[in-house]
Structure 1
Amino acid sequence: MPDKNQFLWLFFSFAGRINRAVYILTFLFMLAVVSFPLYQFMRVPEESPAAQTWSVVFGVTFAIFLWVHISSSVKRLHDMGKPGIIAVSLFIPIVSFIAFLALCVFPGEPGPNRYARQTNAAK
Structure 2
Amino acid sequence: MGPQINNTGVGTSQLFWLFFRFSGRISRAAYVLGFLFMLMVVSFPLYQFMRVHPESSAAQLWSLLFGLTFFAFLWAHVAFSVKRLHDFDKPGLLAITLFIPIVSIITFVVLCFYPGTPGPNQFGSQTNAQR
TM-score, normalised via structure 2 length: 0.93
Pairwise CA distance, 1:51: 0.4
Q: Displacement, 1:121?
A: 1.0
Corresponding residue for residue 21 of structure 1: 29
Considering only aligned residues, what root-mean-square deviation do their CA atoms show, in Å? 0.4
Gaps in structure 2 of 5+ consecutive residues:
1-8
Cα distance in structure 1, aligned partners of 2:41 and 2:12: 19
Runs of 4 or more, structure 1, over 4 Å off, are none
Residues in 1 aligned to 2:93 and 2:130: alpha-carbon distance in whole angstroms:
18
Aligned-residue identity in percent: 63
Structure with greater helix share of residues: 1
Q: Give deviations 1:10-33, integer Å, cap 9, x for gaps.
A: 000000000000000000000000
Please give the alpha-carbon distance, in whole angstroms, between the structure 1 residues aligned to 2:113 and 2:29: 10
Gaps of 5+ in 1: none
Distance 2:10 2:51 in 1: 36
Structure 2: distance between partners of 1:95 and 1:74: 16
Write out aligned runs for 1:58-73 (5 A). Answer: 58-73=66-81
Count of matched residue positions in the alignment of Structure 1 and Structure 2: 123
Give the Cα separation in 2 of the matches to 1:106 and 1:42: 36
Match of 1:104 in 2: 112
1:14-53 to structure 2, matched below 5 A, reads: 14-53=22-61
